[in-house]
Amino acid sequence: MSFAGFLQGGFLAVYFLALGLLCLYGLHRYHLVYLRYRYRDRPPLTAPVRDWPTVTVQLPIYNERYVAPRLLEAIRWLDYPRDRLEVQVLDDSTDDTTLRLEPVIARLRAEGWRVTHTCRGNRRGYKAGALAEGLEQADGEFVAIFDADFLPPPDFLRRMLPYFTDANIGMVQARWGFLNGDYSLLTRLQSIFLDAHFLIEHLARHRSGRFFNFNGTAGVWRKSCLIDAGGWMADTLTEDLDISYRAQLRGWHFVFAADVIAPSELPVEMTSFRLQQHRWAKGSIQTARKLLVAVIASPFSWKVKVEAFFHLTNNVAMLLLVFFSVALLPSVLIRQSLGWQMAAWIELPLFVLAAPSAALFYVTAQRAAGVGGWCSLGRVPLLMALGTGMALNAARAVLEGWLGRESEFRRTPKHGIQTGADFPASKVYRGRLDAVTAGELLLSAYFLVAFVFAMAQRLYIPAPFLFIFFSGYAYVSLVSLRQNAGRWRAGRWQLSQDIPAP
C-alpha cells in the first residue's frame, strides 16, 4: 500500500471510530427512553407535613436589572408560614440592580418578611461563592434556590417539602416551565431541549435509581446535605452538577418532582444561548475530570456508574459530531477511490442506530409534555439542525474543560422578555460574539459546497446530512450576526454582556 493509501486508510479508521462512539451515545438515548417508559408508573412518594420546617430562600443575583425585582415580587406571594421563612438576596451586582431591588426589599420588610440583602463587593467564587457565604448564615433546615429569571408559584414550598419523606433525601428538583417559550423559533427549540432533559433524562435517572443532578435553581436542599457534601465549590462552571454528584456519592438520595413547575425565562439571543451552552458543556467536563474516577471507584452498582459516565461525558458527543460531519463527504470519496464499497455495510447500521435516536428522544419528550406526535415529529429536523449548529461551540467547551483551561463564570443575560415585540435592541446586557461565530460561518459555507457537490455526484445518502449540517451552522452564525448588527462602538464590536447601566 502506498503512503497516500496508508493515510487514507488511517483517516477512514478514525472516521469509523468517531461514528462508532457517536453510535454509543445514540444507544444511550434509546436506553434513557426505555428507562422512562419502564419506570413511568413509579412516581416518588410524598408524606403530609404537619409541622412546616424553617426554610431559607436564596436568591443569587448578578447584574439582573430586568428580572431580579420581578423575582422578589414573586417571593412576596409564597404561601408559607412567615415566621418560618428567611429570604437571602445574595447580590454581587456592579450596576444599578442593587438600587432597583432596594424598594422591593423595603416593602417585603415592611410586610413582616425576614430579608437579608448581602452585597459582597466582589465575585469571589461567583455564584458558588455567594451561595456558600449565604449558607453560613442560613437559619433554615431547608434551602430553596432561585435564579433571578425564575418565578416560583405561590405553592412551591408547600408542594416540594412533602417529597422529603425520610432523612436521607437531600434534594428535590422541580421541573422548569417557560415564560417565553413561544417568543421565537430559538426559544421554542430551547424549550423542547429542556423538556427532554427533565421529562426523559431526569425522570429516567431518578426513578431507575441512577444519579441525577440539581439544575442550579428551582430546587430545595436539606441544609445538612449541602454541608455533608462539602458545600458549594467554584472549581467548575457547573457548581450544581458538582455538588449533586458529591452529595450522592455520600449516600444522599435526590427526588425529581415532575409535577411541580417553576416558570423561567429562556435566552432570546443566540449569543446568550451559546454562552449558556458553553458554560454547561465545559462545566460538565470539568466535573467529569474531578469526580468520574471517584464514581467508578465507589461501591455503587455498575448501572449507576455507566449512567454517570454517559451523563458527565455527554458533551464529548458534540466534539465527535464536529469531526464526523466534516469528515463525512471526504470519507465517501476516499472509499470510492480505494474501492472500499463494502464499508457501507458497516456505516449503514451505525447510521441507523445513531441518527434516529434524537428523533425518538425529542418526540417522546414532547408527547410527555402534551404536544401531539405529528407536531413534535415535524420539529425534529429543526432540533437536529440547531444541535448541529451548536456543536462547534460545545466542542470548544469540551476541549477547554478537558485541558483544564480556566475561565470566569459568565451568567446568561436575561431581559424580562416574554413577547416578540420586546426584542432587546436597546437592552443593556448583551451576549458575546467570539471567534466561534467565524468558524460557524466557514463550516456553513463548507457544508453548502459539500451538499451541492454531493447532489451533483449523485451521492444521495450523505446529502441530507450535509444539508442539515449546513442549515444548523448557517442558522446559528447568521442569527448571531443579525442580532448584533449595528453595535459597532468606538471601532469595535460591543462584546461585554455585563455593561453597567447608564
Strand 55-61 to 85-91 pairing: parallel
CA 230 to chain centre: 24
Helix axes 316-338, 463-483, angle to 10 degrees: 140
Q: Would you name the residues annotated as active-site residues?
A: 92, 240
Q: How many residues does the chain have?
A: 502
The CA distance from 459 to 451, in Å, is: 9
DSSP character at residue 412: P
The CA distance from 270 to 322, in Å, is: 19
Cell numbers placing 102 = 432596594
What burial class does residue 54 get, using C-beta atoms within 10 Å of its C-beta: 0-12 exposed, 13-18 middle, 19+ buried? middle
CB burial string 380-398: b at 16+ within 10 A, e below: bebbbbbbbbbbbbbbbbb
Q: 265: left (phi > 0), else alpha (psi -120 to 50), else beta?
A: beta
The CA distance from 14 to 18, in Å, is: 6
What burial class does residue 281 get, using C-beta atoms within 10 Å of its C-beta: 0-12 exposed, 13-18 middle, 19+ buried? buried
Is 117 within 8 Å of 105 (Cβ atoms)?
yes
The CA distance from 457 to 94, in Å, is: 58
How many Cα atoms are found within 13 Å in the side-chain-facing hemisphere of 340?
Answer: 16
Give all strands of the β-sheet with 55-61 in edge-to-edge order: 114-119, 85-91, 55-61, 142-145, 219-222, 169-178, 253-264
Q: Can you tell me whether residue 223 is helix, strand or coil?
A: helix
| Cα-based distances in Å from 248 to 128, 148, 243, 289 | 18, 27, 8, 17
